[in-house]
Structure 1
Amino acid sequence: MASFTLINITPDIQTYSMLIDMYCKDGKVGEARDIFVHMTERGFVPDIITYSALLDGYCLRGEMDEAEKLMDLMVENGCKPNVVTYSSLINGYCKAKKIDKALGLLQEMHFNGLAPNVITYSTLIDALCKDNQLKLAHQFFKEMEAHGLKPNVITWNSLLDGMCKNGQIDEAIVTMKQMESTGMVPDIITYSILMDGFCEANRLREGVDIFTSLPAKCLQPNVFSYNIIVKGYCKEGLLDEATKLVQEMEDNGCSPNECTYNTIIKGYLYGKDVRKALELVSTMRIKGFAADAHTASLFLSFITDHAVSDSDKALLRKYFEI
C-alpha cells in the first residue's frame, strides 16, 4: 500500500473510510481490507462509516462469512450497526439466495429499533419475487407503504417482473396503472418487463404495441428491449419481421449483441433454414461474437436430423469442420 507521507498527507479516520469505500466500490476488497488493518494498527478506531464501507464490499462480492465476522467485530468494539449496515447485509444474503437469513436480519432490525428504508424493502421484494414468493413480496410492499415509504421505480419493476414471470400479466398491467397513479413514471425497464411478459404469454401483438409506443413516451429502446421483440417474433416463426427488426436496430444506432444473433440464429434453425442460420453465424463471427452452447448443440443436432437435406448436412460439416 502506498505511503501517505510521500505526499505530505496525514490521514485521519475520514480519509481512511473514503479510501476503503473507494476500493470496495471498485471491487478491490482485498486492498480495502489492507487499509482497514493498516489504520487499526496505527491506532485509529473505525467508526460506523468505515465498517459499513468494508462490509458493503464483502457483501457485493458475496463474501458473507467475512461480512458476518466484520459485523461481530463491530458489535464487539461497541459500534452499533445502523440501517445502512443491515441493508448491505440483507442485500448480500439476497444475492446469495439466502432469503431466510435476510428476513432474519429484517426482524433483528425491528428488534433493535431500526426502521427499514426504501432500499431495504426494495432489496427484499426483488429477492422474494425472483424466488417466486410473490405473496410475501406483496405483503412487504404494503408494509413499506404503511410505514410512509414511497416505492421507487426499482421496487415497482421488481414486483412487475415477479408477476410477469409467474404469468400474471393482466394483474401486472393493473399494477403498472397503480404505479402511474402514484406519480411514478415507468422507465424503459418497466416497459421491457411487460413486453417480455406478453411475449412469453404468447401475446406478441400486445408486446409489439408497447414496443412501438416507446418513442411517444420519449423512451429510446435499448438492446434488451429489441432482443425481447426479436425473440417474440422468432418464437412465432415470424423470421422476416425479426430480421427487419435487427436491421432497424443497427439503423437506429443500437448495435445487436451476442444474444440478438443467437436468438435469431436459433429462430432460423427451428425453421429448418440452415443456410440463413449459417449466414448469420458468419456475420456474428465478424462482429466478434460466438454461438452459445444451445445454438451450437442445435447445429450439431441437424447433422443427424432426417428432415435436413444431405446438401445442408454437407454444408454444416464443412462449415464446422466435422
Structure 2
Amino acid sequence: MKRDFLAFPLVLILTLPAVSAAPYWTKPGVYIEYAAMRYEPYIQYRLSQGDRPEWIQTSLMVYNYSGVLYILRTFNDTIVEFRLKKERDYIRSNVQVTLYNVSISTTLPKDISPPVFWNESEVIETEVENSHDLGFEDWKWYRFHVKKVVISGEYLIRVKDYHVIKGNMDYGHTMLFDDPANPLNKGNSFSLYPISIKIQDARIDNERVLKGRYTKFYPPTKTVVTGAYALNITQPFGKGYNILSILMGTLIYTFDASDGKLIATYNDGPDLWAVGILDAQFTDEYGQYKMEVEHEESYASGLVLRSFKIARENVKGEVSFNKPIAKAAYLFYASLVLLGLGLVLNIKASDKRGGD
C-alpha cells in the first residue's frame, strides 16, 4: 500500500511533460488580440517636444487592396485579432485589423480611381489634388479621413514547419508563436517572401517581468531579432510611384518562452503580409510613455498582447498565470507535497518497525 502511495506522485511527475507538451495552437479554438493604444499624456509629451499631431500614430501601414497600394496612418487605437483553428496538417488563421481615426492616402494615374475598402459612411473628409511630385505631375493624390477601418483576411499555417501559406505563396515562419519544442534560433530562416531574411539573434530573459498597460508577462521571455533587410515598395502602375523605401530594417518579436505565444512586436511579419499588409509599424503609446518619459524599461510597446482565449476560457489580465505550463506547475508542486508526505510516512513506518 505504501509503495502504491509513493508510486502515484512519481508517475504524475514523470507524465507531466507529456501533459504540458501540447502547444496552445493545437487547441480546438484560439483567439488572440493585440493592441497599440492611444494615450493622451504621450501625445501631449510629443507635442511639447515639437512634433506635429499627424506624426503621432499608433500604427503606420502600407496596404495592398486590389492591386492598389495605400498608406494608412492610425491616430487612435489599433486592434489586431487572430482566430486559429487546427485543420489536419494546417492551422487556419482568420485575422481582423481594426483601426480608429485613420488617414488613408494614395497616389495614382489620373485614369485609375482608388478602389474602396472602407465603409463610406465612416468618411469624415476627402481630399483630391494633382500630384506635385517630380515626374508624376499627371497623377492624382488622394486622402480620406475615416472614423474606422476594418481589414480582414485568411491564411494557413503549415504545422510541420509553421510557415504561413496563402495560395501558392510561402511567406515564411509565422510571427504568432515560437514553438518551445522546435524554437527559432540564430541562423534559422525566418521569412521568404517578399523579403528573405534569417534570425540574427535569439535571447531568453529569465529575470525581467515585462509589463503592459493591463497585463504582466512573467519570465522566461524570448526576443528574436532578424538580420537587416532592404525593401522598396512602389505603386504598380506606369513609372512606379514610390510608396516606401527601407534601407536597413529589422524585425523584432518578443515571445513567451514557456508556451511560445507572441507577446509584443513593433513591426509586421508573414501573418500580415499574407493579408495584404506589406509593411507596418506599431506604437502602444502607454508603453512608449513609460519608457520615454518615466524611463521604465520593463514596459512593452509596439503591438502588445491584450487578450488570449482558448475555446470558451478567457485568459485575460495577468496572462502569465494562465499559461499551460502554470497548470502543470501546480500539479508538479502538488505531487512533490504528496511525495514528501509519502516519504515521511514511510520513514515513520520504518522507524516503528525498527523499534519493534
Q: Give the TM-score normalised by the residue count of structure 2.
A: 0.23
Counting helix residues as a fraction of each chain, which structure ranks higher? Answer: 1
Higher RCO by CA contacts (8 Å cutoff, separation 6 or greater): 2
